[in-house]
């Protein structure tokens, strides 16, 4: 049984966090440096953007995680450290400065950056900021929130969650925080996410579990169709819960751990979609009875990425033809003459299509359903057992306003 608890990334045993203004952003009221540390070295894994242009910290993190070990996660906001000639040098030096001021080894650091691409970066804020942030490291919820604020850019709310679950008779905990409101498309991680757990899991198994969880959560998420250069989702498992090491992907313990990890990542994916830049609605597209799970995923993602559909949801317009259109151009094996669909929210459900053709429905009722903040598009392909959900948001005037002056 999975139970939500408080304290985010510091909920698991042995983790501390903090966030400060280090001077990366000009606005001194903005926290721009976050640090998460484990009391002991843990097993670790990460997934990264598939964009050919990658932030310098990704190359450093990939190198540091070659041995599957990590003890700290450090991230700055306000500058992506991408397309900079000295970017790798700065990311490497950041790890070295943290190591020089703590008992963490430089190659046990997961390093990340987020913000404007192509902006020159200085190492000076890290030279002064890292000793300062270390002074305030703690396992309180307040510190977890400061760390979460330190990775935010255009996010309007903090996105953090923690759960507890039982494995091998031991209570294990998992915490996570994420950022991302724009430049998000379902293409491997699609934002920054930092996950901590005190469950004992081998590096190899942790890597598999993270890839499986991301496939059903962050890779099913789209705000605007743009895949960022800095996308990273990482996890450290320090084993302090005391359970027997999970090293078999065919075990019951693995399934329990994966269930908890998917719970956390799907929870955060929904929060990210709901907080999409300028968004006023969370859209969940649920597809069932597809020929395969992959077909269901392709259809669900196609629908939530449709700009026409996103605009219709913003206007509370039950233009269901836009859903069918998105299904039709999806690269999936679909019999369009078997498709049923409906719009659903807390105000009820409105069926709009049967066997690929429209059916009478109340426009007034549909409007009432679509005015709610969370909308589900239910699609039944009536052609198999495949099932999947994708997460997105509506397209509003504010999205253009935000991205029209992003650098200012």
Residue 261 sits in a domain of what CATH number? 3.60.70.12
Out of 221, 245, 274, a domain closes at 274
User: Residue 54: left if φ>0, alpha if ψ -120 to 50, beta else—which one?
Assistant: beta
Domain count, the chain: 2
CB 12 within 8 A of CB 32: no
Residue 269 CA: distances (Å) to CA of 217, 307, 317: 6, 19, 25
CB 222 within 8 A of CB 186: yes
- What are 342's strand-pairing partners? 351, 378
CB 389 within 8 A of CB 299: no
The number of residues making up the chain comes to: 408
**What is the percent of the chain with per-residue pLDDT over 90, rounded to a whole number?**
82
| Nearest alpha carbon to residue 278 among 125, 369, 392 | 392
182-222 per-position pLDDT tens digit: 555 555 545 899 999 999 999 999 999 999 999 999 999 88
DSSP-based three-state secondary structure for 322? helix
Q: Say which residue, 356 or 400, is predicted with more confidence.
A: 356
Identify the H or E element spanning 241: none
One domain for residues 317 and 198: no
Is the four-CA dihedral 285, 286, 287, 293 of positive or negative sign?
positive
pTM: 0.90
CB 228 within 8 A of CB 183: yes
Instruction: Assign 226 a pLDDT band (cuts: 50, 70, 90).
Output: low
One domain for residues 176 and 311: no
Give, to the nearest 10 degrees, the angle between helix 252-274 and helix 203-216.
40
Residue from 190, 196, 197, 227 carrying the catalytic annotation: 190
190 is catalytic: yes
Domain ranges, residue 216: 3-274
Residue 54 CA: distances (Å) to CA of 32, 80, 116, 403: 20, 10, 13, 21
One domain for residues 59 and 175: yes
Instruction: Assign 371 a pLDDT band (cuts: 50, 70, 90).
Output: very high
């Amino acid at each position: 049984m999975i139970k939500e608890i408080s304290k985010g990334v510091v909920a698991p045993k042995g983790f501390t966090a903090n966030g400060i203004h280090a001077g990366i952003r000009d606005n001194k009221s903005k926290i721009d440096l976050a640090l998460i540390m484990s009391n002991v070295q843990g097993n670790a894994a990460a997934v990264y953007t598939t964009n050919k242009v990658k932030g310098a910290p990704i190359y450093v993190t990939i190198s540091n995680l070659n041995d599957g070990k990590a003890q700290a996660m450090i991230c700055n906001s306000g500058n992506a450290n991408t397309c900079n000639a000295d970017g790798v040098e700065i990311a490497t030096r950041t790890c070295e400065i943290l190591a020089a001021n703590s008992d963490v080894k430089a190659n046990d650091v997961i390093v990340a950056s987020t913000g404007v691409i192509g902006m020159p970066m200085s190492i000076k804020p890290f030279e002064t900021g890292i000793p300062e942030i270390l002074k305030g490291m703690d396992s309180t919820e307040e510190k977890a929130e400061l760390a979460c604020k330190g990775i935010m850019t255009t996010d309007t709310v903090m996105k953090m969650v923690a759960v507890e679950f039982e494995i091998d008779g031991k209570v294990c905990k998992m915490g996570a925080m994420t950022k991302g409101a724009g430049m998000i498309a379902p293409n491997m991680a699609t934002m920054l996410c930092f996950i901590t757990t005190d469950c004992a899991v081998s590096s190899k198994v942790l890597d598999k579990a993270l890839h499986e969880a991301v496939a059903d959560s962050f890779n099913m998420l789209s705000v605007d169709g743009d895949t960022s250069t800095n996308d990273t989702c990482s996890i450290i498992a320090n084993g302090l819960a005391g359970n027997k090491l999970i090293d078999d992907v065919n075990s019951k313990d693995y399934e329990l751990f994966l269930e908890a990890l998917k719970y956390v990542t799907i929870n955060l994916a929904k929060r990210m979609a709901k907080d999409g830049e300028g968004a006023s609605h969370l859209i969940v597209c649920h597809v069932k009875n597809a020929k395969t799970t992959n077909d269901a995923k392709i259809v669900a993602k196609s629908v939530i990425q449709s700009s026409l559909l996103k605009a219709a949801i913003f206007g509370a317009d039950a233009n269901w033809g836009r859903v069918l259109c998105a299904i039709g151009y999806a690269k999936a094996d679909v019999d369009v003459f078997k498709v049923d669909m409906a719009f659903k929210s807390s105000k009820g459900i409105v069926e709009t299509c049967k066997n690929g053709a429209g059916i009478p429905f109340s426009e007034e009722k549909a409007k009432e359903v679509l005015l709610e903040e969370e909308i589900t598009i239910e699609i039944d392909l009536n052609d198999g057992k495949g099932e999947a959900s994708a997460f997105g948001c509506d397209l509003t005037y504010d999205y253009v306003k935000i991205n029209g002056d992003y650098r200012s």
